[in-house]
Structure 1
Amino acid sequence: MAFQKSSHTFTKIHLKALHTNNFKILFALSFTMFINMLSYAQDIPKGGIPLDRTVKDSIHISIDSLGIAKASEKAKDSTLKDSIKPKKGLLEHIVKYHATDYTRFNQKEHKLHLYNEATIDYGDMNIAAGSITIDYTKNTVYARGIKDTLGGYTQKPVFTQGANVVEPDSIIFNTKTKKALIFNSKTEQGDGKIIASITKKENDSVYFLKNAKYTTSENEDDPEYYIRLLKAKIVPGKKIVTGAAGLYIYDIPTPVWLPFSFFPQSEKQTSGIIIPSFGEQNDRGYFLQNGGYYLAISDYVDLAILGDYYTNGSYGTRLESTYAKRYKFRGNLAFRYENLISSERGFPDYSKSTIYNLRWSHSQDGKSNPNSRFSASVNLGSSTFFRNSLNQVNFGNRLNNTLSSSVSYSKTFQGEPQANISLTASHSQNTQTQQINMTLPTFQGSLSRIYPFASKTGTKKGIIQNINLQYNIRGENRIQTTDSLFFKKEMFDDAKAGFQHSIPLTTNFKLFKYFSLSASSNFNEVWTFNTINKTYDAVTKTSTIEDVKGFDAFRTYNFSTSLGTTIYGMFNFEKDGKDTKIKAIRHIVRPSISYNINPAFDKYYESAEVVNADGLTAAELNLLQNSSTLQYTRFEQGIFGTPGQNFSSSMGISVSNNLEAKVRDRDSTATEPKKIILLNNLNFSTSYNFAGDSLQWSPVRVSGGTQIFNNKMSINFGATLDPYALDNNNTRINKFNIDNGGSLFRLTSANLTASWSLSSSKGDKKEDNSRAIQENIQGGGRDDDLFGISQDFSSQQIDEKKNDEEEEPSEYYHYKIPWNLRVAYAVNYSNDRRNSEISSHSLMFSGDIKLSEKWSIGASSGYDLKNAGFTSTQLRFERDLMSWRMNFSWVPFGTYTSWNFFIGIKSNILKDLKYEKRNQADLQL
């Protein structure tokens, strides 16, 4: 008998493959657990202290009146909660997966294979790819694309975790450590895209890259430029920190390399440095402009601190802030200051001056408080600021002649009658004469109309029921000063204040069915705190005015009435059986006649005191006292006028015309004729003074306007016709011009203005210059580019969204080139004293032409037809280089001869990556 070694037996048992039966294993475990429970239930308790059955239970259960027993409180076992935390399972989240072709689990390798349109959701992670393999033993997920029948690599993985999206060629992700290894990835970080050959995901907030590209180009496969990053660290949504980084253009390296770089990626506003632009000016040397620091103070307000510096010592600073609160208000504040130095100290042409400008705009949301409103529009400063400013941002406002400001607050008190009050501070400044007029402040109050005789129900009818009255009050503190005394205490020395109260009483009613008659009477009372006292020196024949401080007042009243109607005339051109082009012309005439009476308030007039009357006879003195040259009123220098000295009874006549036509519509499908306006208005007006002893007729004023060429061209005109003749000294005499051998009227002045806006169908919208035009408006300039636009191209670098619906390119070159043209024409004629001259005659024009999808040119200029010379001219062109933008602006002649070249990236994140070269004008201050 042979015996086998036990080791052989054990070895065979260990190597024998075990066939697992899930059902039998589950049955065995359940049976074992059931046996153990029964075993513990049959155990005999160990001996111990016997229980005394005679002792009563200490727990007393009381029964209330309803016979319900109160449950006794049961103390919780302090050992019920285990202090040792249970270990985490293999996977923390539920794994959801799906595939189109198949889902296969390899039990031997513990791997799950998904193929074709495979997706996996694990917590906040999602992977979509052509093929996905999950290794449960290594806790890894491997995703890659699949090859199609043509050998192409399709269904590349898309890895999403939170807000981060990565599109690699393949990826290995560890579900336990949350780390990943990503190959040839493409991911978006803010406005830019990162393309990396190898990316290591350390955790949810840190990525490490090797040999990566950073670009804002839309073409990810072949970007026109990129910044090569040898090594980089990404914190999504916060920053990108890199090692050595260099600029490549179409895969060609450039000399621009940095030892390290930093790209902020915050989705919120962040503070940072603003890179300046540089240039050269012959008179002031090299300069840096518009550099500084941006402060993101909060979600509601920011601040930009900018500065300019010139090597000859000139400098400037700009403070700009924008604030807003949703549904409440919004506004912006800007202060600009420049210290200008010309030539060098010690030279005869050396000069030094300072200029400044303050702008503030504030608007309130109407829904925030419907009963009160605060608004501000401020533009004040040195009269020569825009003309002498060295900063290119002010170029479009250099021809401004007026600066104006207004800050107002108004409040309405609901009720019957309704009360309104307002406080306004205003400012008007002529930059040519440097004269400044201000009101600090203007107070206005009013009560709504009151109809004392109107019925409480129904409409108001008749002369009595339509009688209404109103109360208005206006108070002003006026200041007139010059630019040199602005914001100095001397500007308040000649301030004048006063109040004006007015109570108008009016009514209106129908007369003879077709006429409308209105009548009104107005009571006016003026309070003033400054009057004058005038004396006359008979020897030197001069007047002396003395200011008198103190309260004084005068009261006036007047009466007026007007009668008007509307006449319609229709000229029909249609004929039976004929389709005429002009169907009908409608003529609307609105004649009106008015009558006004102004009593004489000569009680407020007196004769000036005559001094140095020695040697004058009584007759001469009496004649001098009665002279009109010595008659004056103490309210002459008041801010609300003076009471009338002479009785006035006058009649006013006016006629308004309007012409409209109905024409055949070019659209053959239209069922109704097309209505067009031939003449918007044509007005005639004059007056006759019954109380006058001569020259009783006033000149006839003619004005009108219309729009033609499908409302593309606007025309306005005016003229003044005088019925009286001139004598040999060119002075008006009380004799009609027709009786003096002339025509019925004498043309004394005329004016004509026209503006024409033309464009192709593609050139209607102004897209590129919107920011520059806004800068013109805020500086008090025009809302177009006829005077040029700002040359600060750095602030205009905005990546504008392109139209999704792009038209297919035409096979014809120059087919439908987008263009626009704006023309303004103005002429003024003067013949008041037989001078018969054109006082001004000018033509201004501006336009833009888009030569191709990427090229555009533009110009702004004008021609003075009277003086035969070109006005301020600006030539410009722009080239769209996809991710880049190139601009060139040139002022070829004139006071502001200069040029400016700029090229930079359009994206906001890299807008400081630019090159700018300027040559500014040499301004003589």
Structure 2
Amino acid sequence: MRTNLFNIVLLSIFLTIGSTNVYCQDSPLKKTIIKPVTKPTTTAVEKNKPNPIVTDSIKKDSAKTKKAFLDGKVKYKAKEFTKIDQKKKNILLYDTAELYYQDVELKSGIILLDYEKDEVYAGRIKDSTGKYTQFPNFKQGANVVEPDSIRFNFKTKKAIIWNSRSDQGEFKIKAALTKKENDSVYFLKGARFTTSKDVDNPEYYFQTNKVKFVPGKKVVTGLTNMVIANVPTPIALPFAFFPMTKETSISGILLPSYNDSNTRGFSLQNGGYYFALSDQYDLTVLGDYYTNGSYGMRFESNYAKRYNYRGNVNIRFENLITSERGFPDYSKQNIYNIQWSHSRDAKANPNSSFSASVNLGSSTFFRQSINQNNIGSNLNNTLNSSVSYSRIFTGSGPQSRLAITATHSQNTQTQQIDMTLPTLQYSVDRVYPFVKKDGVRKGFFKNINLQYDLSASNSFTTTDSLFFRPQMFENARVGFQHSIPLNTNFKLFKYFSATSAVNYREVWYLKTINRQFDTNQNKVVDTQVNGFDAFRTYSFSSSIGTTVYGTFNFKKNKRIQAIRHVMRPSVSYGYTPSFEKYYDTYAADGSGTMVKEYSRFEGGIYGAPGNVNSNSVGFDLSNTFEAKVTDKDSTKTEAKKIMLLNNLNLSTSYDFNADGKRTLAWTPVRVSGGTQFFDNKMNLNFGATLDPYAVNNSGQRINKFNIDNGGSLFRMSSANMTINYSLASSPNKKTNRSNNSETIRNGGREDDLFGKPITGNIQRSMFDDEETDDKKESESDFFNYTLPWDMTFAYALTYGNNNRENKIIGNSIMISINADLTPKWKTGISTGYDFVQKGVTFTQLRFERDLLSWRMDFNWTPFGNNANWGFFIGIKSGVLSDIKWDKRSTIIR
């Protein structure tokens, strides 16, 4: 019985095991057995619909359609481990995890991909010290977000992001919570916006709680408050709009700066609108307004077409009112200035070119302008303009060139304006009539060549008040000049180079003069004669020169090993006959006894023919001095060359036909030279005029040598010397240069000797070169013990003795120094002293503070006609350039 009982129990266990399914890890699924029911085919669109209700109320047993694994290929990797859980349908990546799916790139410390829900989760991990590291980096298309953690759905494209950080244009955005609605809309909560480099610890930021963010387009916020150094400020807006366009520049309002003046009242300056019209041109409209009625308007446009042309146009107009109507010092005037710069790329058309540099307007514009941006230009006394077009004509014959130019020169002190509208130059290239087909030009005859030159000009001389008025065109001077030079050059005695030339000139005028004594006015009067008239002249010239080398060697153990002297002497001869046939006589007084000669072509644009024979010989001598010295570097075996004198030139001439009355035989000897010192950092130039003739009590040169009049061999009638020196604290540090093209265009200097222009924070054009912080050198934790600095020094000395005045006419020194007091503090001064006038020249003090995302500067001109001061503080970013405080004093003239 026991044996049977054991067998019965064992059999029961085997039967039980045999009829049971064994499961590992997972619990068995319960099944309900139902009768099979015929079911219609389910399409892919219907797979998610609920099961149909059957009439017998028995639930159908329909197998669920297996869901596809995402919609594309997934690439992933991790440094520590990768775990795939098929039950939970997820993939876990840990430590330096990366996941790539469709247009999504995700890098983080830990990533969990739930492929059943089509979602991914990413977050940080802690290092051995307990510090969070490996923050997520989520990139979808061009948008990059760096949060603390993120949850993203691949199907809906929605996401929830905690403590996100992203860059949008110049802005850096950080938000406590971000909801990504779709590919183009984000909603942010607890957000801050800043242009600071460090978004976690910025110098300033805009704090807001509700934000709608469209990447690459715009940011719209609710109540926004400005926070500086983590301290909330009273500056707040009920709402804010920030453009986030990816374009180089966008249109927008330019906020004005506030100022006040004792003579014109309160003012708003530099306010207006910037129009980004297209990729090729833009327009800036700015205005100034004073409460006494003064106002100014400025239109500035830049244009460019790649590989073709580029330029800019500035038009400025100001209505200036001083004092109040009814007061004795009341005045009202209109001033204007027009500037145009245009350049054409040589690649556009190699046979033609067009360029323009125009600067014209009221002579008093830069001295009386109410806009402080012009202060850097008011020290210049001349305005110049030039517009030119040139073309080269090619063909089977010799080439010819045509150039048409319009010029303008305006003296802002005398208000005299000289213009040519236009000047025409046409020339035909040289022709060698005696050269054979082989093209060899050697010898006197084969080098004979001739060419043709035509010049035509329409010139005006007027004043500022008559500029472009009918009176200006009444005194136009029109002339044509034809010139045919015949030249040749050849070698003489192997070591001499000789040239000879004969020149024929013919001049046409449309106006001449008739000079007579007017008894009614009791003076000599010139009467204009309209009609064609011409004169013809010819001349001959020749020259011969050579080069002589001389070397003086020293002993080998000397510091100076040798001195080399190069001389280039030349002798020239010129002959021009007298053309007395073009001269008439007139009575210089009422009695008619005093008769003088004149030419009816006097006052013409190309001059008048001479009535004196010129038969002169000229002497020129050019010298260069070099030295060979032992190099201080003992490893170098070759001697080093040093320039002692770049040039030392002497020139004079002697006229064989001088009569001793109207003309003197010897011309003054002109001496000029220049050299460089201290590794070419100092430039020294000098010159002097040595006159061999004496002067009478009236200061006129007489036909008597100065040595015969009790003086020296030569009388120094004038002399000048200039020194320019630039140096810096280190050889690699270049002296500070102003990049203000307007100041240079108006005749100013590139360096800071005349001070820096006060520009504040002006709207940048889309054509301006962007400055990046990457160019800045890295700064160490400790400031360099050597104070970085640079200096520009200029000295000028002029001596005059033409009329026996024997005195220093000009003696002045100018200096500009810039120094970095700290890595963020910069200061500078430009000043000078005039030893003749015994006064300080234009002086400017400058201070600048780099506040990381902000910039602060202060400029002060303490005295003089341009005495003023200006203070500016504002955000560097062009997007927020209107957030500033710009305070300027008004120059009172």
TM-score by length of 2: 0.89
Tell me whether 1:327 sits opposite 2:307 in the alignment: yes
Give, in angstroms, the shift of residue 809 of structure 1: 4.9
Partner of 1:446 in structure 2? 427
1:693 to 639, 643, 659: 659
Residue deviations 1:134-157 (CA, integer Å, cap 9, x gap)? 223322111112222221212111
Q: Is the 8 A contact 1:900 1:918 kept in 2?
A: yes
Give, in angstroms, the shift of residue 245 of structure 1: 1.1
Residue deviations 1:673-721 (CA, integer Å, cap 9, x gap)? 2212111111111111101121211111111111112111111111111
Give, in angstroms, the shift of residue 786 of structure 1: 1.4
Say which is worse superposed, 859-868 or 475-484, in terms of deviation: 859-868
Residue deviations 1:231-251 (CA, integer Å, cap 9, x gap)? 111111111111111111221
Say which is worse superposed, 420-429 or 734-743, in terms of deviation: 734-743
Partner of 2:244 in structure 1? 265
Give, in angstroms, the shift of residue 803 of structure 1: 3.8
Partner of 1:276 in structure 2? 256
1:258 and 1:371 map into 2 onto residues whose CA distance is 59
Q: Is the 8 A contact 2:173 2:199 kept in 1?
A: no
Tell me whether 1:372 sits opposite 2:339 in the alignment: no
TM-aligned CA distance change 1:730 to 1:173, over 3 Å:
closer
1:17-36 mapped onto 2 (5 Å cutoff): none
TM-aligned CA distance change 1:654 to 1:888, over 3 Å:
same
Give, in angstroms, the shift of residue 14 of structure 1: 14
Tell me whether 1:714 sits opposite 2:710 in the alignment: no
Partner of 2:52 in structure 1? none
Q: Secondary structure at the match of 1:908?
A: coil
Give, in angstroms, the shift of residue 452 of structure 1: 1.0
1:845 and 1:804 map into 2 onto residues whose CA distance is 27
2:75 to 75, 84, 96: 96
Tell me whether 1:745 sits opposite 2:714 in the alignment: yes
Partner of 1:78 in structure 2? none
Give, in angstroms, the shift of residue 764 of structure 1: 3.0
Equivalenced residue count is: 828
Q: Structure 2: which amino acid aligns with 1:682?
A: L
Q: Is the 8 A contact 2:735 2:792 kept in 1?
A: no
Q: Structure 1: which amino acid aligns with 2:132?
A: Y
Give, in angstroms, the shift of residue 921 of structure 1: 2.1
Q: Secondary structure at the match of 2:743?
A: helix
Partner of 1:409 in structure 2? 389
TM-aligned CA distance change 1:537 to 1:342, over 3 Å:
closer
Structure 2 unaligned regions, length at least 5: 1-18, 27-64, 765-769
Partner of 2:745 in structure 1? 778
1:595 to 573, 595, 610: 573
Q: Structure 2: which amino acid aligns with 1:385?
A: F
Residue deviations 1:618-640 (CA, integer Å, cap 9, x gap)? xxx6x65xx3x2x2221112110
Structure 1 unaligned regions, length at least 5: 1-12, 21-85, 614-620
Say which is worse superposed, 556-565 or 95-104, in terms of deviation: 95-104
Give, in angstroms, the shift of residue 228 of structure 1: 0.9
Tell me whether 1:704 sits opposite 2:673 in the alignment: yes
2:804 and 2:746 map into 1 onto residues whose CA distance is 40
Partner of 2:728 in structure 1? 759
Residue deviations 1:735-766 (CA, integer Å, cap 9, x gap)? 11111221101111111111111212277335
Partner of 1:905 in structure 2? 875
2:590 and 2:741 map into 1 onto residues whose CA distance is 64
Partner of 1:801 in structure 2? 773
Residue deviations 1:74-120 (CA, integer Å, cap 9, x gap)? xxxxxxxxxxxx99966333322222333222222222212222222
Tell me whether 1:161 sits opposite 2:140 in the alignment: yes
Partner of 1:532 in structure 2? 513
2:260 and 2:415 map into 1 onto residues whose CA distance is 31
Give, in angstroms, the shift of residue 669 of structure 1: 2.8
Partner of 1:567 in structure 2? 548
Partner of 2:33 in structure 1? none
2:459 and 2:68 map into 1 onto residues whose CA distance is 84
Partner of 1:341 in structure 2? 321
Partner of 1:860 in structure 2? 830
Q: Is the 8 A contact 1:814 1:851 kept in 2?
A: no
2:589 and 2:751 map into 1 onto residues whose CA distance is 60
Q: Secondary structure at the match of 2:791?
A: strand
Residue deviations 1:416-458 (CA, integer Å, cap 9, x gap)? 3111001100000000000000000001000111111123326
1:878-893 mapped onto 2 (5 Å cutoff): 878-893=848-863
Q: Is the 8 A contact 1:721 1:748 kept in 2?
A: yes
Tell me whether 1:455 sits opposite 2:436 in the alignment: yes
Say which is worse superposed, 257-266 or 324-333, in terms of deviation: 257-266
Q: Is the 8 A contact 1:776 1:789 kept in 2?
A: no
2:225 to 246, 258, 272: 246
Tell me whether 1:195 sits opposite 2:161 in the alignment: no
RMSD, aligned α-carbons: 2.3
Give, in angstroms, the shift of residue 820 of structure 1: 1.0
Partner of 2:563 in structure 1? 585
2:695 and 2:178 map into 1 onto residues whose CA distance is 94
Q: Is the 8 A contact 2:479 2:508 kept in 1?
A: yes
Q: Structure 2: which amino acid aligns with 1:338?
A: E
Partner of 1:832 in structure 2? 802
TM-aligned CA distance change 1:173 to 1:539, over 3 Å:
closer
Partner of 1:815 in structure 2? 785
Tell me whether 1:431 sits opposite 2:412 in the alignment: yes
2:588 and 2:891 map into 1 onto residues whose CA distance is 60
Partner of 1:28 in structure 2? none
Partner of 1:515 in structure 2? 496
Tell me whether 1:726 sits opposite 2:695 in the alignment: yes
Residue deviations 1:823-847 (CA, integer Å, cap 9, x gap)? 1111211111211122222111112
Residue deviations 1:296-324 (CA, integer Å, cap 9, x gap)? 00000000000111111111111111100
Partner of 1:791 in structure 2? 758
Residue deviations 1:640-675 (CA, integer Å, cap 9, x gap)? 011111211111111111111111222333332221
Residue deviations 1:442-480 (CA, integer Å, cap 9, x gap)? 010001111111233264111011101111000000011
1:587 and 1:178 map into 2 onto residues whose CA distance is 83
Q: Is the 8 A contact 1:763 1:820 kept in 2?
A: no
Say which is worse superposed, 206-215 or 452-461, in terms of deviation: 452-461
TM-score by length of 1: 0.86
Say which is worse superposed, 651-660 or 531-540, in terms of deviation: 531-540
2:612 to 638, 646, 657: 646
Q: Structure 2: which amino acid aligns with 1:733?
A: I
TM-aligned CA distance change 1:339 to 1:516, over 3 Å:
same
Q: Is the 8 A contact 1:454 1:465 kept in 2?
A: yes
Q: Secondary structure at the match of 1:765?
A: coil
1:130 to 85, 97, 109: 109
Q: Is the 8 A contact 1:887 1:901 kept in 2?
A: yes
Q: Secondary structure at the match of 2:109?
A: strand
Partner of 1:421 in structure 2? 402
Partner of 1:70 in structure 2? none
Q: Is the 8 A contact 2:254 2:763 kept in 1?
A: no
Q: Is the 8 A contact 1:278 1:287 kept in 2?
A: yes
Q: Secondary structure at the match of 2:773?
A: coil
Q: Secondary structure at the match of 2:181?
A: strand
TM-aligned CA distance change 1:606 to 1:110, over 3 Å:
same
Q: Structure 1: which amino acid aligns with 2:747?
A: G
1:175 to 150, 154, 171: 154
Q: Structure 2: which amino acid aligns with 1:301?
A: Y
Give, in angstroms, the shift of residue 348 of structure 1: 0.8
Say which is worse superposed, 192-201 or 273-282, in terms of deviation: 273-282
Partner of 1:146 in structure 2? 125
1:473-492 mapped onto 2 (5 Å cutoff): 473-492=454-473
Q: Secondary structure at the match of 1:675?
A: strand
Partner of 2:627 in structure 1? 661
Residue deviations 1:364-409 (CA, integer Å, cap 9, x gap)? 1111110000000000000001111121111111111100000000
1:543 to 520, 524, 528: 524
1:920 and 1:316 map into 2 onto residues whose CA distance is 14
Tell me whether 1:558 sits opposite 2:539 in the alignment: yes
Q: Secondary structure at the match of 2:762?
A: helix
